Amino acid sequence: MMTEAFLPAMRQLVAIRLRSEGLSQNRISSLLGITQASVSLYLSVGPGKAYSILSRFAMTKGEAESRVELLADAARSGPAEGAGVLLSIWTELLGKGSACAYHRERYPSLADCDVCIKEYGGRRGARHALVAEVSEAVRMLEASPVFVNIMPEVSVNLALAAEEAATPADVVAIPGRIVRVKDRAKAMLPPEAGASAHMSKVLLIARDRDPNLRACINVLYDARVAKAMKKERLRAITVGAHSRRSTADAAAEAIRDRLRSGSGAFDAVIDEGGSGIEPNVYLFAKGAKEAAELALRLARACSAA
């Protein structure tokens, strides 16, 4: 159902959205990780059939449009980020039982099945404490009048790992990230596990060096932030300027390489960016609220300068 119905419908609607924003077919194909011919086919037909298919997963047109907007935003960061958000949307539907009716139509023997609800709904329940902590940290950021001053163009995400985290599925973050809305930060969706492939990777890389680091947030890196970091006496490791590589996440790989060659404790990793990569600072802490407070201290220091 995912690959034959849900995925093509979402891809078509995202392709239509990106095209309406002026992106070329070649650019859309690159962002979605599909061929230009597929994009052309998606754009040649109206969205009616896609909305009809999604309605079979208990999604109204309005709900579909909100998720398409979220996916389109994530896709601009590349196929990996888009795939992470798509997975979050899909597992949310499975956990709520939204795919059950469609599944039972195809397989009547599943009339009494509730496996997906137990598996995906229960998994979110087991991670309730992590989600609650990230939610509280996000509220701190959203309430701040100064945090937007250190938000990078690529937006912000906040990630929190379970004690024994080993994969992105063990890391709670914000699907679609935290964006600027007028003069405040705003999370696009509630936090959930597996929501950010990039932030999860960066956090897990850092935890290889220091298992006590369970949370991470990214902010802008410029002269103001550098000065504020010195004022706060943050221990920082710097990743020199680098370019996009053939890997899906060049920034994370550059951080991995740098941490492997370094030593000593650290509170932050400065990624100086490079060709096509915006400079960022990744702040680390033992919890989500501590990471948010650290970011807010930098924002206040920058605003007071």
For the segment 167-195, what is each residue's pLDDT rounded down to a tens digit? 888 899 999 899 999 899 999 888 888 88
- Summarised one tens digit per residue, pLDDT across range 193-247 is 888 889 999 999 999 999 999 999 999 999 999 999 999 999 999 988 766 554 5
204 and 184 share one domain: yes
- Summarised one tens digit per residue, pLDDT across range 62-105 is 989 988 988 888 888 777 778 878 888 888 888 888 999 999 98
Domain of residue 71: give its range: 2-125
If one counts the domains in the chain, the total is 2
270 and 153 share one domain: yes
The amino acid at residue 104 is R
190 and 270 share one domain: yes
Q: Spell out where the chain has E strands.
A: 158-161, 171-173, 178-181, 184-187, 192-193, 215-220, 236-239, 268-271, 280-285
CATH code: domain of residue 252 = 3.40.225.10
256 and 154 share one domain: yes
Please give the model's pTM, rounded to 2 decimal places.
0.63
CA distances from 153 to 47, 77, 158, 219, 293 (A): 30, 11, 15, 10, 21
Radius of gyration of the chain (CA): 20
175 and 293 share one domain: yes
215 and 142 share one domain: yes
Give the pairing of strands 236-239 and 268-271. Answer: parallel
